[in-house]
Structure 1
Amino acid sequence: MLKINFAKFSSLILLLALTIVFNFTACCSYSFTGASVPKHLNTIAIPIADDKSGSAEIGLRESLTQKLIQKFIDDNSLQVADRVNADAILECTIVSFNDAPAIVAAGENVTSRRITIGVRASYRDLVKKITVYDKTFSSYEDYPQGGSLSDRNNAIEKVLDKLTEDILLETVSGW
């Protein structure tokens, strides 16, 4: 019959676990903070967004810019600064704005509308003089057909929230 020395067995398991943990931490410099902004970047400028969507949606570019700045303030990975003192710059242009039927029921009755907004964001490292990314982000939100102006505005705000979150994440962890 096989006899197991539990003291030696548990010591062996503990040694194996410590070896695995040591090897993982020694070979992998993984950050659990979620952000991987290079150390030479501390500040970011976020100028007012351009609106080239042709929508003439009042306050859209200001709302996008304010939400984006607030996301960076809340995230605290990069401090928001003016362009002259910034290590990086994030320039945004609203390239599309669409308010169209989303759900059409029987008899071609529109029951829901969809707001879709596209934003081109260009993020540049001013210290190393490189463009980190230049890409278009898009998001949408539905609201009820025949709903109030408030329903439509809430849909726009939700789209802007999603877009600014995507832009923030790409900026602070897309390295």
Structure 2
Amino acid sequence: MKNLLFACIVLILSSCSYKFNGASIPPELKTVEVPVFENLAPLVDPTLSNTLTEAFMTRIRTQSKLNISKNGAQAKFEGKITDYDIRPIAIQDNTKPVAGATRLTITVMVKYTTTVQGNSKPFEQSFTAFTDYQAGQPLAGAYQQSLNKKIIDQLTENIFNAAFAQW
């Protein structure tokens, strides 16, 4: 009897899902299109475009009930990577200036359109995120990808929130 009661409680709780991400997606909005974000940055990481696009689609899938569609969707996110910047920061020693750290910054321009009325408002906005790393550390390979991932996580969260969280 206890097992049956426990199974019923688990079933009820698993059917109820509330996400604490603050998203308020109109119930009529069912599909969204996310074309590959074009990379127009002066400095190009060849994997960044696909990585950013896939990460954003994953965020939509995991934080909403929206379905990703190739065309004919009710909403669309069009993105362009406009900057990929590596810059020294934390300059030290006044006699012979040396950077104590380096900042990697990624900027993305996103246009969000929707045919559904509700809380989700269309916008065209630039999003920027960065991470700092130790000066002298070469930015290549797995290390570069891990820094990109940190920035992409922040960018996708900011884009998702701009479209669906209106705090």
Q: If the length of structure 1 is used for normalisation, what is the TM-score?
A: 0.73
Uncovered stretches (5+) of structure 2, i.e. residues with no partner: 1-19
1:154 to 115, 138, 146: 146
Match of 2:159 in 1: 167
Identity of matched residues, %: 24
Aligned length: 143
Amino acid at match of 1:155: L
Range with bigger deviation, 111-120 or 70-79:
70-79
Task: Please give the secondary structure, in 2, of the residue aligned with 1:83.
Answer: coil
Check conservation: 1:83, 1:89, Cα contact below 8 A: no
Higher relative contact order (CA closer than 8 Å, sequence separation 6+): 2
TM-score when normalising by structure 2? 0.77
Structure with a larger share of its residues in helix: 1
Which runs of structure 2 are paired with 1:60-71 in the superposition (5 Å)? 60-71=48-59
Q: Which residue is 1:9 aligned to?
A: none
Bigger-Rg structure (1/2): 1
Corresponding residue number in structure 2 for 1:16: none
The 5 A counterparts of 1:1-175 are: 34-84=22-72, 86-106=73-93, 107-127=96-116, 132-148=122-138, 149=140, 150-174=142-166
Q: SS state of the match for residue 93, structure 1?
A: strand
Structure 1 pair 121/51, CA: closer, same or farther in 2 (3 Å)?
same
Q: Give, in whole Å, the separation in 2 of the partners of 1:105 and 1:83.
A: 52
1:123 positional shift: 0.7
AA aligned to 2:115 is: L
Contact 1:99/1:114 (<8 A) preserved: yes
Gaps of 5+ in 1: 1-31
Deviation per CA, 1:8-37: give whole Å up to 9, x if none.
xxxxxxxxxxxxxxxxxxxxxxxx772222
What is the RMSD of the two structures over their aligned residues, measured on CA atoms? Answer: 2.2
Which letter does structure 1 place at the counterpart of 2:131?
E
Distance 1:33 1:51, change over 3 A: closer
